[in-house]
């Protein structure tokens, strides 16, 4: 019996199914399982003409699955398609999915969510707060094209690499990429946080004294004094306070409440603006 080959149209169908349905039906029980199964189904249909055979593959591919939906999921589907085509057993393909979903979730979440998105959304939101629509437009452009390109490229690259991938992943490349993303992230946060957290103090201290019979008014703007010591001191303190509370195990919601109360009271009495 000749092995069945996948057509390019099967792969494209699988790719677009992934794009339009990847995490639909996400649930606590098996997370992305139904979205994954829906995406790989055209491949399974082609490669398992026997109904019983197909049924078994269908059931197996509804197992638990979860990874990063942008960097990770298309990669795994592509690699899975290659393995399936080479006639690998269900144990092998499940092993591939389970083996790759954890590490790729780590890389994807760090590089795409924590790093890339944080940078483009910080810049975009910064522009938006200055009243410029270019902020969100820039973000949309930097999401739409790069995301689709990265997802498409990943899917087909992983498909072409096939079985070679599993060994390639042992090489420590993932740890290095994650480290690079972490360092870039820290430098960027160091610069972005003070630029975007806009707290200032409007306080001024006015003193008047009689000099040679004339009244001299001396006005001290507190914000200028602070800037002379350490620029952006208040934003740094605000981030530091929030970070310290989170580190102590406070939930983000509790920290929001603290910031709302502190900000509101200090704003209302005119200490912060």
Chain positions 138 to 167 lying near another protein, rule: CB under 8 A, are: 139-140, 143-144, 147-148
Q: Which is nearer to another protein, 56 or 157 (CB)?
A: 56
Between residue 101 and residue 140, which ones bind another protein under the rule CB under 8 A?
A: 105, 108-110, 113-114, 117-119, 121-126, 128-129, 131-133, 135-136, 139-140
The tokens 């639909």 sit on which residue? 24
What is the Cα–Cα distance from 180 to 110, expressed in whole angstroms?
Answer: 10
Q: How far is the CB of 209 from another protein (least distance, A)?
A: 31
Q: Which stretch binds another protein (CB under 8 A): 79-87, 155-163, 174-182, 210-218?
A: 174-182
Residues 231-270, interacting with another protein (CB under 8 A)? 231-232, 235-236, 238-239, 241-243, 245-247, 252-253, 255-256, 259-260, 262-270
Number of chain positions touching another protein (CB under 8 A): 112
In terms of DSSP bridges, do strands 204-211 and 214-221 run parallel, antiparallel, or are they unpaired? antiparallel
Integer CA distances (angstroms), 32 to 2, 15, 20, 39, 156, in order: 34, 15, 13, 11, 21
Sign of the CA dihedral with 256 first, then 261, 264, and 269 last: negative
SS3 220: strand
- Taking the complex as a whole, the smallest distance from the CB of residue 174 to another protein amounts, in Å, to 14
Given candidates 11, 43, 70, 107, which one binds another protein under the rule CB under 8 A?
70
Q: Which is nearer to another protein, 138 or 161 (CB)?
A: 138
**What is d(CA 80, CA 110) in angstroms, rounded to the nearest whole number?**
23
Length of the chain in residues, anyone? 273
Per CB under 8 A, the list member of 4, 62, 98, 221 interacting with another protein is: 62
Q: Taking CB under 8 A as the rule, which mask of x and - marks residues 195-234 in contact with another protein?
A: xxxxxx-----------------------------xxx--
Report how far apart, in Å, the C-alpha atoms of 267 and of each of 193, 232, 262 are: 20, 18, 8
Give the range of 160-168, 182-190, 203-211, 215-223 binding another protein by CB under 8 A.
182-190
Q: Cα–Cα distance between 61 and 18 in angstroms, integer?
A: 14
Residue 98 or 260: the one with the smaller Cβ distance to another protein is 260
Contact present, 74 and 14 (Cβ < 8 Å)? no
Q: 52, 54, 30, 50: which is closest to 42 by C-alpha?
A: 54
Stretch that binds another protein, among 3-11, 90-98, 194-202, 217-225 (CB under 8 A): 194-202
String marking each residue 1-40 x if it binds another protein according to CB under 8 A: ------------------xxxxxxxxxxxxx-xxx-xx--
CB of 21: closest distance to another protein in angstroms?
A: 5
**Closer residue to another protein (CB): 2 or 50:** 50
Look up residue 184 and give its two tokens: 């870039």
Nearest to 23 by CA among 75, 77, 79, 65: 65
């Amino acid at each position: 019996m000749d092995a069945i080959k996948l057509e390019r149209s099967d792969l494209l169908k699988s790719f677009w199914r992934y794009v339009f349905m990847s995490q639909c039906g996400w649930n606590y029980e098996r997370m992305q399982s139904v979205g994954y199964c829906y995406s790989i189904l055209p491949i399974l249909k082609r490669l398992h003409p026997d109904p019983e055979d197909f049924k078994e593959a269908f059931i197996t591919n509804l197992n638990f699955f979860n990874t990063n939906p942008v960097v990770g999921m298309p990669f795994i589907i592509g690699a899975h398609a290659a393995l399936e085509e080479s006639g690998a057993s269900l144990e092998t393909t499940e092993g591939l999915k389970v083996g790759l979903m954890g590490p790729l979730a780590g890389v994807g979440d760090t590089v795409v969510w924590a790093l890339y998105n944080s940078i483009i959304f910080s810049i975009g939101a910064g522009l938006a707060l200055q009243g410029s629509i270019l902020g969100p437009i820039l973000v949309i452009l930097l999401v739409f094209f790069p995301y689709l390109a990265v997802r498409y490229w990943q899917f087909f690259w992983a498909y072409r690499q096939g079985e070679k991938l599993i060994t390639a992943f042992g090489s420590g490349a993932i740890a290095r990429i994650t480290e690079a993303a972490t360092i870039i992230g820290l430098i960027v946060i160091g610069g972005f946080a003070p630029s975007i957290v806009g707290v200032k103090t409007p306080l001024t201290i006015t003193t008047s004294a009689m000099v040679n019979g004339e009244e001299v008014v001396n006005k001290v703007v507190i914000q200028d004094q602070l800037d002379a010591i350490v620029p952006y001191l208040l934003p740094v303190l605000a981030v530091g306070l929030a970070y310290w509370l989170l580190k102590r195990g406070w939930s983000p919601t509790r920290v929001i409440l603290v910031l709302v109360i502190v900000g509101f009271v200090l704003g209302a009495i005119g200490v912060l603006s």
